[in-house]
Amino acid sequence: QGHVFTYDPGFTSTASCQSTITYIDGDEGVLLHRGYPIEQLAEKSHYLEVCYLLLYGDLPTAEQLEDFENRVTKHTMLHEQMQYFYRGFRRDSHPMAIMVGVVGAMSAFYHDSLDINDPWHREVASIRMIAKMPTIAAWAYKYSIGQPFIYPRNDLDYASNFLHMCFAVPAEEYVVNPILARAMDRIFTLHADHEQNASTSTVRLASSSGANPFACIAAGIACLWGPAHGGANQACLEMLREIGTPDRIPEYIERAKDKNDPFRLMGFGHRVYKNYDPRAKVMKQSADEVLELLGIENNPTLQVAKELERIALQDDYFQEKKLFPNVDFYSGIILDAMGFPTSMFTPIFAVARTVGWISQWKEQLSDPEHKIGRPRQLYMGHPRRDYVDIENR
């Protein structure tokens, strides 16, 4: 309740908010969503059921889940006019740039009819965001490769629909591989929410001013893009490819330890986890399963990743700094095996995290004590001084 944390400069701060959605114990490597361990949710649940849990606080009955899934399915299409936003971007635009723009533009299409002070309107906005993000991301991918947009299909589950919109073409039938669909759904689940990370805090801060949900989510997407945050999955696979072979790993380990070298091991370390990120464990198992089922278990990038992890975890520096693989270390290997370019890794993270952002947006607005976020600072600049005319400077 209003925990007080003392930071190095000797000043204290209070927790940014109170929440009942996600709990992390960084020292023990524990992640709970409404009390349920992420390992159990990844194994036994599926993404839309986890969305229900995050949004409403409990696991749904069969009837509640069917109703929720139907409501999401019925809102997966975008307003046809929104296609014109895509056509204004250069073809080589990063899909995250397109997503920031298109989601922000949703404010012009869906917000005018919404009163965010009305709980029912907040519910409608929540369902729309979760439903439309896969279509927005898939169309950003299709636009970047010059292929026609593929519309969502109501006969496919959430993950299969996303894969179909990304990889189907009008010229021939595309059948979604169930192995990839299960892996895609698990990746969505593992990225659903993560307490007050940078992008979620951005969404909460924006929502505290009363900004509409689409503008708040657009702000979260922009923050997630950074390579220290959600952009790490793209940066990590690019790093693993640059390393190329296990014999080059020691060179990169030494660079990561060199304080004069800005290089960081992508996919390693975390602001909160000082133990193994529980999501990374599940992701590593999933990478093994998917690549074996696809017959590419000897994927050289996976071999480099496993050897890099083995060497780093034995290294004194990494042990002293308590640096472990995080959620981004293995996710890119699976997404690459699915056929996604690295530029789509962070958009996929954004699709998955939308439910976390929206759940926390709703919680922020439903808090009777919620006020506009107004962080203070420790002023370290000049004391008061008088203006000096230019001829006297």
Q: Which of residues 173-202 bind ligand SDX (CB under 6 A)?
A: 194, 197
Among 77, 169, 228, 296, binds ligand SDX (CB under 6 A): 228
CA 337 to chain centre: 19
16 versus 177: smaller Cβ distance to ligand SDX: 16
Q: Which two tokens stand for residue 234?
A: 């793209």
Nearest residue to the partner ligand SDX, using Cβ: 269
Cα–Cα distance for residue pair 358/129, rounded to 1 Å: 8
DSSP state of 107: I
Query: Which region, judged by CB under 6 A, interacts with ligand SDX, from 10-18, 28-36, 51-59, 222-230?
Result: 222-230
Q: Is 363 helix (H, G, I), strand (E, B) or coil?
A: helix
Among 202, 207, 234, 326, binds ligand SDX (CB under 6 A): 326
Closer to ligand SDX at the Cβ: 158 or 225?
A: 225
Q: What is the rounded CA–CA span in Å between residue 286 and residue 260?
A: 36
Q: Is 53 in the site for ligand SDX (CB under 6 A)?
A: no
Is residue 269 within the footprint of ligand SDX (CB under 6 A)?
A: yes
Question: What count of Cα atoms within 13 Å lies in the side-chain half-sphere of residue 13?
Answer: 11
Beta carbons within 8 Å of 285's beta carbon, 6+ residues apart: none
Instruction: Rank residues 78 and 240 by Cβ distance to ligand SDX and give the closer one.
Output: 240
**Residue 14: strand pairing partners:** 4
Given 266, 338, 355, 358, the residue binding ligand SDX (CB under 6 A): 266
Residue 383 Cβ vs ligand SDX, minimum distance, rounded to whole Å: 30
Q: Which is nearer to ligand SDX, 147 or 275 (CB)?
A: 275
Q: Is 267 in the site for ligand SDX (CB under 6 A)?
A: yes
**What is the DSSP-derived secondary structure letter of residue 264?**
-
* Helix-helix angle 328-338:278-293, to 10 degrees: 20
Catalytic residue (choose from 270, 277, 367, 382): 270
16: which residues sit within 8 A by CB, 6+ positions away?
Answer: 196, 201, 204, 373
Contact flag: residue 23 with ligand SDX (CB under 6 A): no
Catalytic residue (choose from 185, 193, 277, 328): 328
Q: Figure out which of the listed residues 164, 270, 284, 362 binds ligand SDX, where binding follows CB under 6 A.
A: 270
Q: Is 175 left (phi over 0), alpha (psi -120 to 50) or beta?
A: beta
The three-class DSSP label of residue 301 is: helix
Q: How many Å separate Cα 209 from the centre of its chain?
A: 23
232 near ligand SDX, judged by CB under 6 A: yes
Q: Is 229 a catalytic residue?
A: no
In whole angstroms, how close is the CB of 290 to ligand SDX at the nearest point?
Answer: 21
What is the enclosing helix (H) or strand (E) of 119?
A: helix 119-144
Nearer to ligand SDX, 82 or 256 (CB): 256
Residue 328 annotated in active site: yes
- Please give the positions annotated as active site: 270, 328
Site of interaction with ligand SDX (CB under 6 A): 194, 197, 228-230, 232, 256, 264-271, 321, 323, 326-328
